[in-house]
A and B are shown apart, each in its own frame.
Chain A
Amino acid sequence: MRNADRSGYAIHCILPPHILRNIAKKGTDKQRDMALRTLALDTTSRTNRVTHALLRSAGRRPIVDVMIPKVQRTIYSAAEGTELPGSVLRSEGQGRVSDPSVDEAYDGLKATFDFYAEFFHRNSIDDNGLHLNATVHYDHDYDNAFWNGEQMIFGDGDGTLFNRFTIALDVIAHELTHGVTASEANLTYLGQSGALNESVSDVFGSLVKQYSATPRQSVATADWSIGKGLLKNPNSALRSMNKPGTAYSDPVLGTDPQPDHMSKYVRTYEDNGGVHINSGIPNRAFFEVASALGGYAWERAGRIWYGTLRDKSLRPHASFASFARHTAAIAQTLYGTGSAEHKAVQDGWGKVGIEIH
């Protein structure tokens, strides 16, 4: 068996399957979870080896090794222009380059990749080993970051309202998660489905930040803000997941318009029908579910949301209510009807005015 290059995968190199199955039967909850995950990986590995052998015998190289996701990153600079991707500043395995934007993007891509790989066994953004590219120093005084369907783009900020857009790990993870959503539920970027698309990016952006922190952050210790440090005002953020509508209040930017309940839902033509506005409602629903369950938010609430995102019956034009019903169904599937997780999901959506029947 090929040696794992990260400690998170090392166990299946040491323990034979019969011992893992024994741990799965008799171990503690934590040991059981690890053993089951390792067994699943091990089975995938065997399948992978057979597939690779068949491909080699047919004279073809395997496209990607699904067994051990391995990040491949390239950071480019647009040198304040708009040509993409720009010139290469740092490739996979190269050392730091003393340009904070480059090094933050490089580290942020890996933190996001590792979260999805280690906890969800996802092989990059598309679950097919996508090479992660990012361009920094895009345009002049550019106050934005976006996912263009293939790569990430970061501006340097204008220095007055915004700092550089690589400064916040949750923003990097937010953008990459748009790529995950595009390859899964592909939620249409308009109205409620667009707000769900945005919310999913905030949820996993926040979870990556919580998972990558040292020490890791629990529901209680996480700040549940998105983009802390991005705005020049140190007390502001882009969004607040636990208290939508309170992230910023500024003479130039205005006041955070996010609602925290369906009774305050904003019907507007702005912002693709309010995708960054009404995302406050599902954001708070996630926070309420995670809070009710406690511990690390990615372990149960995050798993339910990820399962929902991958649920093939979730439609691209899903409404908040439809998404909520899917989260409840996934919670039932994963944890059982009437379980604490199932009830937390029902209650969490109820707190933002969405009743699941």
Chain B
Amino acid sequence: MRVTLKTSGGIGYFPGLAKPVVADSDRLAPEVSDRLRELVEGASFFHLPPVVGTAPRGAADLRTYALTVEDGRHVHGIAAVETALSAPLRALVDFVKAHGKPEPDDTWGPIPT
């Protein structure tokens, strides 16, 4: 299982903090890998809609999390506003932040014209 977390938004844009973070069960200790799977299942991740919550009217500097889980042939991605995170989803986000490794970010840079 491979879980990718990309954080955007917040009070400023920091290129170093915007890089995706990946928690890959192949590279984690067995007990950590088991916990990752528990959290994905606990959040019912594959049953979540692609967009979880929207920013309230007039809100600013909120964070948004883009989470993608790849598990064998199953791939699912969501975008969630931080204030709309359920407790299980927040636990998954926190876990990936704590145990994931930064990956090169190929989304930064000019949009092709």
Question: Which residue of A has the minimal Cβ distance to B15?
Answer: A254
Q: Are B13 and A145 in contact (CB under 8 A)?
A: no
Min CB–CB distance B40 → chain A (angstroms):
20
**CB-CB under 8 A for A252 and B16, given A148-B59, A179-B58, A268-B111:** yes
Q: Are A271 and B61 in contact (CB under 8 A)?
A: no
Is the contact region of chain B dominated by helix, strand, or loop, or is it mixed?
A: loop
CB within 8 Å of A: which B36-90 residues: 55-63, 83, 85, 90
How far does the alpha carbon of A315 sit from the alpha carbon of B68 in the complex, in Å? 36
How far does the alpha carbon of A307 sit from the alpha carbon of B35 in the complex, in Å? 55
Is A74 an interface residue when CB atoms closer than 8 A count as contact? no
B-side interface residues, number (CB < 8 Å): 29
How far does the alpha carbon of A305 sit from the alpha carbon of B103 in the complex, in Å? 41
Question: Which residue of A has the minimal Cβ distance to B83?
Answer: A148
What is the total of A-B residue contacts with beta carbons within 8 Å? 103
CB within 8 Å of B: which A145-180 residues: 145-150, 165, 171, 174-175, 178-179
Q: Are B60 and A189 in contact (CB under 8 A)?
A: yes
Question: Which residue of A has the minimal Cβ distance to B59?
Answer: A149
Question: Which residue of B has the minimal Cβ distance to A271?
Answer: B13
Min CB–CB distance A283 → chain B (angstroms):
12
Is A144 an interface residue when CB atoms closer than 8 A count as contact? yes
Q: Which of B8, B11, B12, B90 contacts A270 (CB 8 A)?
A: B8
Q: Which of A143, A178, A267 contacts B10 (CB 8 A)?
A: A143
**CB-CB under 8 A for A257 and B13, given A269-B107, A270-B18, A272-B8:** yes
Is A262 an interface residue when CB atoms closer than 8 A count as contact? no
**CB-CB under 8 A for A148 and B56, given A253-B14, A270-B13:** yes
CB within 8 Å of B: which A169-212 residues: 171, 174-175, 178-179, 181-183, 186, 189, 197-198, 201
- Would you list 22 pairs from A and B whose C-beta atoms are within 8 A, ordered by A residue? A82-B83, A84-B83, A145-B61, A147-B58, A148-B62, A148-B83, A149-B58, A165-B11, A175-B60, A175-B61, A182-B57, A189-B60, A255-B15, A268-B108, A268-B109, A269-B107, A270-B108, A271-B8, A272-B8, A276-B11, A276-B12, A276-B13
